[in-house]
Structure 1
Amino acid sequence: MRELVVLGTASQVPTRHRNHNGYLLRFDDEVILFDPGEGTQRQLLLAGLAVTPITRICVTHFHGDHSLGLPGILQRISLDRVPHPVTVHYPAGGQEFYDRLRHATSYWDNADIVPSPVSVPSAAPAPSAAFEVETSAGRLTALPLRHSIETYGYRLTEPDSRRMLPELLRAHGITGPAIGELQRAGRLGPVTLDQVSVARPGQSTAFVMDTGLCDNVFALAHGVDLLVIESTFLAEDAGLAAQVGHLTAGQAATVARESGVRHLVLTHFSQRYQDPSRFLDEARKEFDGPITLAEDLQRIPFPARR
């Protein structure tokens, strides 16, 4: 199963209808929780989800609306005795904050929590200045963004593969275990893998929170199937957005258009705006592809393969 479960869509201040941030990405065997803000444990319950499947947690930065739910999630993982390791990625410069949140209160620590601080060589030019780790779903990349404190965006990229064509396999008399041998070796006698299969591009998704416009926003979003991106402000407050390191809905949509994004998910809305449809109206002026205005507890399926 591949889907995004939206747990919270507010920005600094939650509302009656929007919880603080929280996003659960289910990508086959990889289940990633992004930015668990305050109340995430309860939102998981309301969404009918358990913490047990979570394989890793990605924190973009240590502002409260993106990380104050981390203690509750980690303690619940321990309470439920999740049997596998859970890796936590977070900005290396926020190690002090991670340590505080990791043991914010007393509890029986029965979980295997693996800290994986994110950092990139400060002298390396973008986009080579990237943090990368291989997961069961593909490569997880983190790039620094432009905000008031150290902040990273994340991208998950599935490797390209090939789809076997049954009619061509039959035509060459290849069946059963021989198919697996052909896939592993790339050739079976005179038959090559290319002769009985077609390319299957890997899918990708990017998660971009709390940033002003910068090159790495576009690098993370480039060609992804699903872009989850903050749109805290509307264009009428673009000056304020730039001052505090945030995006407008129009800017987020421009990123999607220029980056060739297939499906755009707008989230992280300021409580100052009473009519959420204005975000969609503004984004529509810049991007004519599918747009989802994220709502709490919403499930967003991955786009079909290209």
Structure 2
Amino acid sequence: MTDKPRSSEVMRSGREFTDPRAEKKKPHSFLRAIRAEEESTGRVCPASGCWINILNPLVGELAGLCGYDYAMIDMEHSPTSLESVQHMIRAVQLGGARALVRAPDKQSVWLGKLMDMGADGVMVPMVNTAAEAHRLAEATRYAPEGTRGMAAGIVRASAYGVELDYHLQHYRDDFLLMVQIETREAVAESAEIAAVDDIDCIFIGPFDLSASLGHLAQPDHDDTRAAILQVCENVENTDTLLSTLTTAGCDAQYLFESGFDLVFSGMDIPMLKHSMSKDAAHSRDIITKLKSQ
């Protein structure tokens, strides 16, 4: 008689059960995965992500299940709380994507809180100088190298202390620090910002940048494109990654071919709006035809 498998050995889907804690002992971070690829192939393998402003865990989980490599949970332009963001981080990671969070502003206190929650990375808006970037970088490290508060034994990032040794050894290797270039001032200082230790990625924000240049809501304006090109040239020969999002005039293929490493090609609200509008229009057409019969 064949022994019946224990429920702990088989997941509901029929796949073999693996202890998630075992995975934590492997180089698993988004940043280290990128660097490992770069070391083995000589280039960064492009990755695609989506932008989430509907901070419901269903949306976060779906982003990963649909195949995105990472998702940006936006605290700057979404009504939310830290508790909601922690649920979003869990959901995105459960779906199989990396959970990145855009902080509400550039106060360094957000970094420690979001790192404690286990975010794979944090993006800080409106970073204009190398001095600001340095202050943020310091906030990602514990003393004596930095200013991050120590509560490692009780936070999600260390599995609430279950994986404390691993966390203390790898906490900074496993984290992606992104800063946003969004103003004329930041463009001029982008080379110095990219050179700051522990600044892993420069994100160019085309909409705020266009506003700063006097072209509100014109991310594809010639002046905006020229400023973006200047940042790309300043960052090109550094180890710092480049990221941005797609616009009407710059799709994912164009951006990847232009040298961007991380491209946000989808945004939840515009995608939902497009699908709903298309479906509603189709339904109205059907109703109109029926009424005319």
TM-score (norm 1): 0.34
Question: TM-score by structure 2 length?
Answer: 0.35
**More relative contact order, 1 or 2 (CA 8 Å, 6+ apart):** 1
User: Which structure: greater strand fraction?
Assistant: 1
The structure richer in helix per residue is: 2
